[in-house]
Structure 1
Amino acid sequence: MECKGFLFDLDGTLVDSLPAVERSWINWALSWGANPQEVLAFIHGKQAITSLRHFMAGASEEKIQEEFDKLEKIEATDTEGVTALPGAHLILSELSRMNIPWAIVTSGSMPVASARHKAANLPEPEVFITAEQVKHGKPKPDAYLLGAEHLGLAPEDCVVVEDAAAGVMAGLAAGCKVIAVNAPSDTPGIEDVDFDLSSLKDLLLNPSDNGVTVSLR
């Protein structure tokens, strides 16, 4: 597979933030009277405000925003256990070395995403797309279309790297090539991704006339 740029999801793709995510959302679920397991099953890959609107159906937008502000503050300060996933540092460093443009495209807000990115000590992206920059979050394609635009590339020249069902669907909807990493086996469209991997360590990158060739080790 050949491409000219990469668009990486953050949580679950480059960064293992699951302990922090689960702590924050379980505490929120218990405080609101929601089922913690139902909340955890729903939230992955989606913007926090989308999840809150889902579980706070009937509440005012003002109340939802109030809960979002409290949750964001907690998530942006709780980075205990947040680490880079295997292969993340290597692939980002290799792309930078080869002058291949790459971006982080996350459903998280800037305060939360930047805190987790910093905690994992990942290289700085050329482009960092967060929830504040798009009207419609994943699984809509908006975030990945914006990421490609900011890299100066057509969506079809970009590879989306994702772990969550919502992100895989967003990448496919954007018209990008898609690499799934530890995505659920029942992810809609999983049969249409270019690679379905268990780890970023499985990827091999080589320069090509059109950017970079992506293959498996």
Structure 2
Amino acid sequence: MRCKGFLFDLDGTLVNSLVVVERAWSNWALAHDLDPQVVLDFIHGKQAITSLRHFLPQADEASLRQEFLALEKVEAEDTDGITAMPGALALLNRLDALGAPWAIVTSGSVPVAHARHGKAGLPRPKIFITAEQVSRGKPEPDPYLLGAEHLQLPAESCLVVEDAGAGLRSGLAAGCRVLAVHAPADLPELAQVDWVLPGLTELEIEAEADGWFRLHHA
């Protein structure tokens, strides 16, 4: 597979934050008399405000905003257990060495995304798309379309690297090539993506002429 630019999801793709995400949302669910597992089954890959609107359908926007800010504070301050996903650091360093354009496109807000990215010790991208920059989050195409726009590349020449169903759908809807990594084997979206790999350690990248990069399965 070939591409000219790379658009990476953050949580579950570059950063292993599962323990933190599940801790924060499980506590939130219990505080609202909701089944934590039902909440956890819904939230992955989506903006927090999307999940809050789903589980608190009667709440007004002011109340939702208060819920969001409280949850954001918890998620931004709790980084205990966060690590880089295997192969993430080596892959991003490889892209930088090749001069390959890449961006992070996350459903997280600035405080949460930057806290997790920093804790994982990953290189900082020139382009870091967060929830604040789009009115419609994943699974809508807007986040990845904006990422491609900031890389100054057509979406169809970019590769989205994702782990969650909502993110995979977002990349597909944007018209990007899509690589699924660390994804549950039963995700229906896996039948639609261009490539499925167990993890980032399986991916090798070589530069070609005219700004293209070729991907190989290690």
Please tell me the TM-score bracket, short chain as reference: over 0.9
Which residue in the other structure is 2:203 paired with?
A: 203
CA separation in 1, counterparts of 2:214 and 2:163?
21
Output one character per residue of 1:163-212: Cα deviation in whole Å (capped at 9) or x when no partner.
Answer: 00000000000000000012233434322212111110000101111421
Match for 1:211: what amino acid? W
In structure 2, distance between residues paired with 1:60 and 1:28:
18
**1:9 match:** 9
Is residue 100 from structure 1 mapped to residue 100 from structure 2 by the alignment?
A: yes
Task: Report which stretch shifted further, 123-132 or 185-194.
Answer: 185-194
- Give 3-state SS (helix, strand or coil) of 1:189's partner: helix
Structure 1 CA distance for aligned equivalents of residues 36 and 20 of structure 2? 14
Query: 1:12-69 CA deviation, whole Å, 9 max, x = no partner?
Result: 0000001110110011111111110000000000000000000001111111111100
RMSD of aligned C-alpha atoms?
A: 0.8
SS of the residue corresponding to residue 128 of structure 2 reads: strand
Q: Which residue of 1 aligns with 2:62?
A: 62
Q: Which runs of 5+ in 2 are unaligned?
A: none
Superposition pairs of residues 18-37 of structure 1, within 5 angstroms: 18-37=18-37
Normalising by the residue count of structure 2, what TM-score does the alignment of the two structures yield?
0.98
Moved more, 57-66 or 181-190: 181-190
The Cα shift of 1:146 comes to 0.1
Q: Which moved more, 1:71-80 or 1:58-67?
A: 58-67
- Letter of the 2:131 partner, please give it: A
* Runs of at least 4 residues off by over 4 Å: none
Report the AA paired with residue 70 of structure 1.
A
Q: Once the two structures are aligned, what percentage of the paired residues are identical?
A: 59
The reply on whether 1:170 has 2:170 as its aligned counterpart is yes
CA drift of 1:216 comes to: 0.3
Residue in 1 that maps onto 2:132: 132
Q: Tell me the distance in 1 between the aligned counterparts of 2:50 and 2:207.
A: 39
How many residues of Structure 1 are paired with residues of Structure 2 in the alignment? 217
Partners of 1:190 and 1:172 lie apart in 2 by 11
Provide Cα deviations, 1:135-183, integer angstroms capped at 9, x if missing partner: 0000000000000000000001100000000000000000000000122
Deviations 1:106-148 (A, max 9, x none): 0000100000000000001010000000000000000000000
Contact 1:162 1:180 in 2 (8 A): yes
Q: Secondary structure at the match of 2:183?
A: coil
Alignment match, 2:153: 153
SS across alignment from 2:79: coil
Q: Please state whether the residue corresponding to 1:204 is helix, strand or coil.
A: strand
| Contact 1:169–1:188 (CA under 8 A) maintained in structure 2 | no
TM-score by length of 1: 0.98
The equivalent residue for 1:72 is 72
Secondary structure (helix, strand or coil) at the match of 2:214 reads strand
Q: Deviations over 1:61-103 (max 9, x none)?
A: 1111111000000100000000000010011000000000000
